[in-house]
Amino acid sequence: MGLRFTRRGFVGASLAASILAGRARAAPTVFPTGTTIYDPAKAWSGFNVLSTLDTPAVLVIDMNGRTVKRWDGFNVSAGGPARILPGGVLMAPTGANPGHQESTALLAVDFHGRELWRFDHAEAIQVDGESQWSARQHHDWQPADFPAGYYSPETVFSTSGSKALLLTHSSYRDQAVANVLLEDDRLIEIDPDGTIGWEWFAADHIGELGFDDAARRAITRLGTREGYDWLHTNSARYLGPNKWHDAGDARFRPDHVIISSRQTSVVAIVARDGSIAWRIGPDFSASPQLAAIGQVIGQHDAHLIPPGLPGAGNLLLFDNGGASGLGDPSPISPQGSSIYQRANSRVLEIDPVKLELVWSYTAPNFYSTNISSAQRLPNGNTLVTEGAPGRSFEVTAAKETVWEFMNPPGESGRKGNALYRAYRLPYAWIPQLPAPREVPIVPPAAGTFHVPGTPDG
């Protein structure tokens, strides 16, 4: 049976049927698209920024699902999320490096699409036999003055520009990992003029990431091909101002970087000297506190909730489930590349000092094997992107769904209706757009909706 390799990691053959079943339940052949639930009295309303995988554009929709703005020519399927800064300025990845999940440039444009800033000088790549500069950016990036990369009422942007953090790839050899060319994860910090002032290579710190001997053997065993994506980091954020550092905990210095490795089920804080200052995973049975949280598998979007929002300072992440983790071969993981497996997803809010679960969300058929995200909103609700089936929804602290949007199939027809991430912004952040009319949407009772032409339709 063996394994099948996707661009986002190894999937155990024994889990393939359940993964496909999960996707089928979440996205049937016939399903409603657009906004399907909206309670304006309970939701925190604003514009929604969609980073889709099948449409080469950044879309902004209102709460009723109308597309109110579109920027074309952006490749979020390669580089990760689009973000909008105050004043209607878009920052997003563009371009692609064939054969790699990465963009060639990070770009800022104004509301009308005029280029304001570009970074594309991290590393040279070969495209069609010719060398060219590229950002090699993938999965994530963040301005230093934008904690967590989403809105907080306490966010203040620099008028002269700020440093930015980019998660990038680097072609790198390190026999401590594997005797092949690595597609290593490289963090870079750039000044407003694009100068790289700080960098970090993941392979240099493999010994600090908690891998036991079995996991190290698995990494070596799997590292047999050139361009081996050994860690597959899928998010990287500055911690930003937080109460832990204010109380004297040096591990949570605001300019430290929190990373998430999907393939290994590790979340770690990278200190400015390059060391690992804090870590959870890969094995969540390693302590009673982590065991109480439960094994995190293939997670995405790990970040500290920014100041000014309920739960500020807590770790918020999307625990995908699916398959991840490295260890010895077994019947369910013949190559030892997916020793943890679970066919459902969770959103977790964790106290990172006590390692206690503060809040969580799960539900029947809630399952995205890859991508996905979670955003804490000013009213205490959480915006969740269940990425693979293309669903974004807002839940209250009591787990009531007060807004739901189903992304329609994309324009290329290759990647369905998947959403990489969705973010909610206040209407005032895009002053060029009028605040829309908000219309409540009440879905029909379960079991009463029928397709026209059926006996009950």
Asked whether residue 284 is domain-assigned, the answer is yes
Asked whether residue 189 is domain-assigned, the answer is yes
pLDDT tens for each residue of 110-161: 999 999 999 999 999 998 889 999 999 999 999 999 999 999 999 999 877 8
What is the distance between the alpha carbons of residues 279 and 205, in angstroms, rounded to a whole number? 13
Contacts of 24 (CB under 8 A, 6+ apart): none
Asked whether residue 446 is domain-assigned, the answer is no
State the residue range of the domain holding 348.
3-429
Q: What is the CATH number of the domain that holds 194?
A: 2.120.10.30
**95 burial type by CB count under 10 A (0-12 exposed, 13-18 middle, 19+ buried):** buried
Structural domain count, the chain:
1
pLDDT value of position 27 = 53
What is the distance between the alpha carbons of residues 280 and 352, in angstroms, rounded to a whole number? 9
Does pLDDT of 13 surpass 60?
no
Does pLDDT of 167 surpass 80?
yes
Other C-beta atoms lying within 10 Å of the C-beta of residue 457: 8
Asked whether residue 397 is domain-assigned, the answer is yes
What is the distance between the alpha carbons of residues 185 and 34, in angstroms, rounded to a whole number? 36
The end-to-end CA distance of the chain, in Å, is 44
Strands 356-361 and 89-94: unpaired
Helix (H) or strand (E) holding 154: none
Does pLDDT of 25 surpass 60?
no
Distances (CA, A) of 139 to 25, 78, 279, 313, 368: 27, 7, 20, 23, 17
Asked whether residue 456 is domain-assigned, the answer is no
Contacts of 154 (CB under 8 A, 6+ apart): 306, 307, 308
The reported pTM is 0.93
Asked whether residue 447 is domain-assigned, the answer is no
